[in-house]
Amino acid sequence: MPVRKFATHLWFDSQAQEAAELYTGLFDDSSVEDVILAPEGIPGVEPGSVFLVYLTIMGQQYIFLNGGPLFPFDSQVSLYVLCDDQDDVDRYWHALLADGGKPVQCGWLTDKFGLSWQIIPNRLEELMDDDDPAVVDRVIAAMLEMVKLDVAGLEAAARG
């Protein structure tokens, strides 16, 4: 079993490996590193089924656990993806919504596993850092009206 000093640990019902394969296939610098099967004696987990998945997503280490439905995800925890451009926003957005995900608002979505994501273009952060408070106010107002973030719409709002 890989030893880690720091990793994000996420509790899935029974889809840890499926989620790991989706995420590592979608994001660069990502891989599944190890899959641990459940030994005898873990309550609610079938012996020999996938129990832990060790993976890296975009250079960040994660441990996914199949622990049953006791602790479902909610939006208090989300994964934040900073995108280079609108093409990246669109690609990640559509891939994470596939097969049952749900769009939320302001660049947030919930994937088919119930995990919340923020799909954010770099340009939003740049516009939010403008020295003119009026520009920032317009960008925020535009963002609050969007579901999937639209770089051209944010830039138009910034220009007034």
Could you give the CA distance from residue 10 to residue 134 in angstroms, rounded to a whole number?
Answer: 39
Based on the fold, state whether residues 126 and 112 are members of the same structural domain: yes
84-106, pLDDT tens digit by residue? 999 999 999 999 999 999 999 99
With b for 16 or more beta-carbon neighbours within 10 A and e for fewer, the 51-86 pattern comes to: bbbbbbbeeebbbbbbbeeeeebeeeebbebebeeb
Based on the fold, state whether residues 141 and 97 are members of the same structural domain: yes
Domain that holds residue 87: 73-160
* E strand spans, 13-136: 31-37, 50-57, 60-66, 78-83, 102-103, 108-110, 116-121
Could you give the CA distance from residue 111 to residue 150 in angstroms, rounded to a whole number?
Answer: 19
128-154, pLDDT tens digit by residue? 999 999 999 999 999 999 999 999 999
Based on the fold, state whether residues 49 and 100 are members of the same structural domain: no
Based on the fold, state whether residues 115 and 151 are members of the same structural domain: yes
Based on the fold, state whether residues 45 and 112 are members of the same structural domain: no
Q: What is the CATH number of the domain that holds 148?
A: 3.10.180.10
pTM of the model: 0.93
Question: What does the longest C-alpha to C-alpha distance in the chain come to?
Answer: 63
Based on the fold, state whether residues 65 and 103 are members of the same structural domain: no
Could you give the CA distance from residue 12 to residue 114 in angstroms, rounded to a whole number?
Answer: 9
Number of domains in the chain: 2
